[in-house]
Structure 1
């Protein structure tokens, strides 16, 4: 059974997003990530089935989950993902949450914040740093691809910078002397929890013949096109833009939503005509049972974006939070 098989049965969007966090492929390779990777869903079939059964029960009555994750303050995707994972660690069948979002300060400044402290079923005390990222691959020319060639859609984030900050700052917080003084008894095993999707121009993976070794081979993929390219290629496809909190799990459309799809597609065409910043979209196809499901997912970017993205990929960049 694939990760997609374990995510798609759930109907509630928040439950699907939580299942996506637990079961979707990692962005980083276990052998080249630079640190251990978190395993929120146990590898053993029995433990995975227990988690899936728990999610199925939650899917039938998600009110308590909604109360935690549908808050006006959770407008950023990262905060929403943290709230989902915190709910799982508090109420799920495997681990026990010890603390979340623990600030580490000195008298002069704030050093950082530890995302999650937990104890798993084996009694191991773990420190997880969560990142949910969506990067677009920008061609590396004749050189070798690196994580620097994966940039955030708004060119304020880059995979190499985020990876370096996680490894050399965030993961080390729980090992600092200042952290020990907070009363959380360690030692803590620090692990990376990095999920997301990487987007390739026209969905063409051959543009990256020698991908960075840090990337997991099975990472989730999408496509990106400039506004002009999308207008020339969309043909009769039905597309809809996705709100930022809808970037994680794929969704089937309800009957009511599907009725509005044609109208949404027309509005998207008008929006792209004056596009000033990248937008994530999904292409939908009708499957048996008159259900509309995602066929693919991608970004539409302004026509001048590739040149600016190439400059950003080759710049010194800046550290990301």
Structure 2
């Protein structure tokens, strides 16, 4: 295995072990640190590196799922009973089950939904609930709607399947349904950015979530941001990874630092017109909808 690729896979696995929850709801905060230890990484790299390297060149969500499944496969404490299992009712498809696990430690069956998300916080918009201000860089994914769907739809899939007598007969029913939602939030750059003191003021995000800045392309140039663009397969850990041809135009993540900073970090760099387009997308999506209820923290 190429050493640069091995280092990338190792750092991404380690990042997953340590990645905190992105959303504040307790049901969506399954903690990998309580299930996995770093001594699983070497067995994973020995037996599954080819599959992981192949997944790394596909969609980022699939790469994340491959890393997660590799850890569960290597762990003596879990057994994967089903993955990406389509649940079909008598007249319609009810949904897809990400993972069904047997937890040997707790002696129970766990339904686990996986989500890796990167959201940007836009400035406040008049008449829009603050919880609606997190948006994906593609302007079609809204944190508040994703959170609602996970809680009201995806985590309730086993319950709805039981109601419609559609649960697969060869699978045990889960004792609990949980979400493993991680990633990063990106907030407008400010010299006052301090995640330790301001995270509580940002809406709909877990207090311990990973938070980094975003900048427009013009602001990044004016502030002297150094570094380089990184492909989606390098969005997890801050490891620079192997040298690769750039695949995605902005908006995209950048690995670098401002003058005076001591180490490289993840930034999100967006086109100059992106903030205005993001605000317009939110106004179109939420101006006629009831405002979502704020999540207790």
**TM-score, structure 1 as length reference:** 0.74
The equivalent residue for 1:3 is none
Alignment of 1:1-321 (within 5 A): 12-29=7-24, 33=25, 35=27, 37-42=29-34, 51-55=37-41, 57-58=42-43, 62-71=45-54, 75-120=58-103, 121-141=105-125, 146-175=130-159, 176-177=161-162, 178-203=165-190, 205=193, 210-212=201-203, 214-234=204-224, 237-252=225-240, 277-283=250-256, 295-316=264-285
- Root-mean-square deviation (CA, aligned residues, Å) is 3.3
The answer on whether the counterparts of 1:28 and 1:194 sit within 8 Å (CA) in structure 2 is: yes
**Contact 1:199–1:224, Cα closer than 8 Å, also in 2:** yes
Deviation at 1:130, TM superposition (A): 0.5
Q: Is contact 1:26-1:194 (8 Å) kept?
A: yes
Secondary structure of the corresponding residue to residue 315 of structure 1? helix
Alpha-carbon shift at residue 34 of structure 1 (Å): 5.9
Secondary structure in 2 aligned to 1:219? Answer: coil
Aligned length: 273
- How far did residue 187 of structure 1 move? 3.7
Unaligned runs of 5+ in 2: 290-297
> How far apart, CA to CA, are the structure 1 residues paired with 2:56 and 2:193?
37
Q: Which runs of 5+ in 1 are unaligned?
A: 1-9, 286-292
Q: Are the counterparts in 1 of residues 55 and 62 from structure 2 also a CA contact under 8 Å? A: no
Deviation at 1:157, TM superposition (A): 0.6
Cα distance in 2, alignment partners of residues 143 and 119 from structure 1: 46
Question: How far did 1:227 drift?
Answer: 1.4
The C-alpha deviation readout for 1:176-200, integer Å capped at 9, x for no partner, is 2244243312243010100000111
Change beyond 3 A, Cα 1:100–1:74: farther
Label 1:170 to 1:296 Cα distance change in 2 as closer, same or farther (>3 A): same
2: CA distance between counterparts of 1:186 and 1:119?
Answer: 11
Deviation at 1:247, TM superposition (A): 0.7
Cα distance in 2 for partners of 1:188, 1:148 equals 32
Distance 1:23-1:143 versus aligned 2 partners, 3 A rule? farther
Report the Cα distance in structure 2 between the residues aligned to 1:216 and 1:201, rounded to whole angstroms.
Answer: 18
Structure 1 contact 16–249 (Cα < 8 Å) conserved = yes
Q: Is 1:151–1:158's contact at 8 Å kept on the other side of the alignment?
A: yes
Alpha-carbon offset, residue 94 of structure 1: 2.7
Q: Distance in 2 between matches of 1:64 and 1:147?
A: 43
- Cα distance in 1 between the residues matched to 2:57 and 2:170: 29
TM-score (norm 2): 0.80
Residue 63 of structure 1 deviates from its aligned partner by 4.4
